[in-house]
């Protein structure tokens, strides 16, 4: 594996663009890998904190609020089932209709 000069590095760590301030990771593949690992790690941490925040909100809710949310979600599912059923009938009629 060849090492390239820092000026040829396509992606610079920490987003620095000038050759005087950029971190000198000379191998281009390493620069891309480090950037990808950092991005995936940040995304994973974000998803973990969002999930934990959702759980904390649920702990603070009363039983009545949870029951109302379940009723709303059940209604949404029922509406979606009707819409999917109507689309199925429309698709069937459209296939049988002469062009």
pTM, 2 dp: 0.41
pLDDT at 78: 92
Neighbours of 9 (CB within 10 A): 20
pLDDT at 87: 81
Instruction: Over range 65-88, report the average pLDDT.
Output: 90
- Quote the Cα angle for 71-75-86, to 5°: 170
Identify the residue with better confidence: 60 or 4: 60
- What average pLDDT does the chain have? 76
The 10s digit of each residue's pLDDT in 25-46 is 455 556 677 778 888 899 999 9
Rounded Cα distance between 38 and 77, Å, is: 38
Predicted confidence band of residue 15 (pLDDT cuts 50, 70, 90): low
98 alpha carbon, distance to own chain's centre? 43
């Amino acid at each position: 594996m060849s090492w390239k000069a820092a000026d040829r590095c396509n992606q610079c760590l920490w987003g620095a663009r000038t050759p005087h301030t950029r971190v000198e990771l000379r191998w281009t593949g390493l620069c891309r890998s480090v950037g990808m690992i950092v991005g995936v790690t940040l995304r994973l941490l974000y998803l973990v904190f969002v999930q934990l925040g959702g759980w904390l909100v649920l702990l603070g809710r009363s039983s009545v609020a949870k029951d109302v949310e379940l009723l709303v979600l059940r209604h949404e599912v029922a509406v979606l089932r009707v819409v999917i059923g109507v689309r199925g009938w429309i698709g069937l009629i459209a296939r049988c209709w002469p062009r």
